[in-house]
Amino acid sequence: MHESIQIDTPDGSFRAHVARPAATAPAPVVVVLHEVFGVNADMRKTCDELAAQGYVAVCPDLLWRLEPGIDLSDKTQADLDKAASLYSAFNLDTGVDDVARTIQRARTLPGTTGKVGLMGFCLGGLMSFLTTARVGADASVAYYPGNADKHLEESMLIDSPLLVHLAQEDEYIPKGSQLEIVQALGRQPTVRTHSYVGCSHAFARHSGNHYDAAAAALANDRSAAFLASHLK
């Protein structure tokens, strides 16, 4: 079942896409933090997959302050150019505030247990990392968190469970930056990292240009086990 909810802030309101499991028993929530392409078909499919695992999946529109309702893909140059512009204009601090408000709302949604995890991809992966450091969550997952190496001073603040997936051949996160991420996060006992050999950025994006079925399945299985161990 799908629905849309409104989340209020002092600056205005934004929408979030919600996918619910078929079972009616109270379920934990996973807040899905999208790439710079917005709440698109890929993110909605991720929400459906989480709902099939027994979670209420909530995907907030993090780009609402720039342009509400963004729905792009990696298939056209026009979409890629717009995505790059949005990424440059995105404010990380207000983004964390919006994720925090989404977490607060998610804890009180009807039909939920009060437990809330995060799962973010690229820009959303960075937001998962930063929100975990600044706010915390019951469990967080970050897929290829772009620019995380520029915020590693915040890693020392992380004291809740975090799982990070890195692509070994990521064209946006160089190997040196990946090493810095792994070393910094390795000092935190609640954090685990995995690197995927031969994979490019966004290897888990459904039907994406760099989709790697085997690596995506492995990462997603690890994420599922990790979330289940902390949320259920």
Q: In whole angstroms, what is the distance from residue 59 CA to residue 108 CA?
A: 16
Q: Is the pTM of this model over 0.95?
A: yes
Nearest to 141 by CA among 114, 115, 167, 122: 122
**pLDDT category, 23, cuts 50, 70, 90?**
confident
**pLDDT category, 138, cuts 50, 70, 90?**
very high
Please give the tally of structural domains in the chain. Answer: 1
CATH code: domain of residue 203: 3.40.50.1820
Which residues does residue 27 pair with via DSSP β-bridges, in sequence order?
112
Tell how far CA 220 is from the center of its chain.
13
Average pLDDT, the chain: 97
**pLDDT category, 1, cuts 50, 70, 90?**
confident
pLDDT value, residue 83: 96
Q: What is the pLDDT of residues 38-54, one digit of tens each?
A: 999 999 999 999 999 99
- Where in the sequence is the domain holding 102, given as residue range(s)? 2-231
Which residues participate in catalysis according to the annotation? 170, 201
Residue with tokens 């991809």: 121
pLDDT value, residue 14: 98
CA-only gyration radius of the chain, Å: 16
Q: What is the pLDDT of residues 65-93, one digit of tens each?
A: 999 999 999 999 999 999 999 999 999 99
**pLDDT at residue 24 above 90?**
no
pLDDT value, residue 73: 95
